[in-house]
A = this chain, B = another copy of it.
Amino acid sequence: MSGRWRAEVLVRLKEGVFDPQGAAVEKVWRQTGHVGVEAIRLGRLVDLWLEAPDAESARRQAEELAGGLLANPVLETYTVRVSPGEEG
């Protein structure tokens, strides 16, 4: 019997790839006195609700979508967290 799963996909720039947006936010925050922040890097969050027989196949499906459509393999990496899904 198929079930509903939620996959949280986090897409980040690879280590070493410069993040101009993060650097811009860092600059503004320093100028406005937020001194405890050493670095900021911005990424993307994609929540997916999937139909799948079990968590493992939901993960595989999310990984396929993340690697094929959501993350740019040259510049980005992604991580996937799967949990039983209710509507977002």
Q: Which residues of A contact B (CB under 8 A)?
A: 4, 8, 10-12, 15, 29, 34, 36-52, 61, 65, 69, 87-88
Report yes or no: B10 in contact with A65, Cβ–Cβ below 8 A: no
Q: A39–B48 Cα gap in the complex (Å)?
A: 6
* A39 touching B69 in the complex, CB below 8 Å, given contacts A11-B45, A45-B10, A45-B45: no
* A37 touching B65 in the complex, CB below 8 Å, given contacts A43-B47, A44-B45, A45-B42: yes
Report yes or no: B50 in contact with A37, Cβ–Cβ below 8 A: yes
Measured CB to CB, the closest approach of chain B to A61, in angstroms, equals 6
- The interface residues of chain B lying within 8 Å CB-to-CB of A43 are 44-47
* A36 touching B10 in the complex, CB below 8 Å, given contacts A29-B69, A44-B44: no
